[in-house]
Amino acid sequence: SQQGEEDPQALSIQEGENATMNCSYKTSINNLQWYRQNSGRGLVHLILIRSNEREKHSGRLRVTLDTSKKSSSLLITASRAADTASYFCAPSSGGSYIPTFGRGTSLIVHP
């Protein structure tokens, strides 16, 4: 299994702005998931993108995947204070489909 690395480690923006977080990984993947963690809580699944997909949308979330660059990005449009959380990418590879996590991106949205 492999770990995704999120960038930046921390992001601070104003409400209404867009937030972009990036994820890099090392080897070929089956899929890549993004999760959110609110302070003091467990992770919550946001979106899954498969290796043969390039872009996926869910509400204000847009995820892209570039397998040639081994990278993914998560865009949150028109951010809200409630989007304040840590965001993790979790690539999975091999036959086990086990997602592994890094340190995440800490997003703060100021009202």
Partner 1 sequence: DAGVIQSPRHEVTEMGQEVTLRCKPISGHNSLFWYRQTMMRGLELLIYFNNNVPIDDSGMPEDRFSAKMPNASFSTLKIQPSEPRDSAVYFCASKAGTDNEKLFFGSGTQLSVL
| Measured CA distances, 20 to 1, 93, 97, 101 (Å) | 25, 24, 26, 18
Minimum separation from the CB atom of position 79 to partner 1 (A): 23
Q: Contact 87/74 with Cβ under 8 angstroms? A: yes
Q: Please say whether the beta carbons of 25 and 49 come within 8 A.
A: no
Q: Please, which residue, 18 or 27, has the CB nearer to partner 1?
A: 27
Q: Which of residues 27-46 bind partner 1 (CB under 8 A)?
A: 30-31, 33, 35, 40-45
Q: Is residue 1 a contact residue for partner 1 (CB under 8 A)? A: yes
- Site residues (CB under 8 A) for partner 1? 1, 30-31, 33, 35, 40-45, 48, 50, 88, 90, 96-104
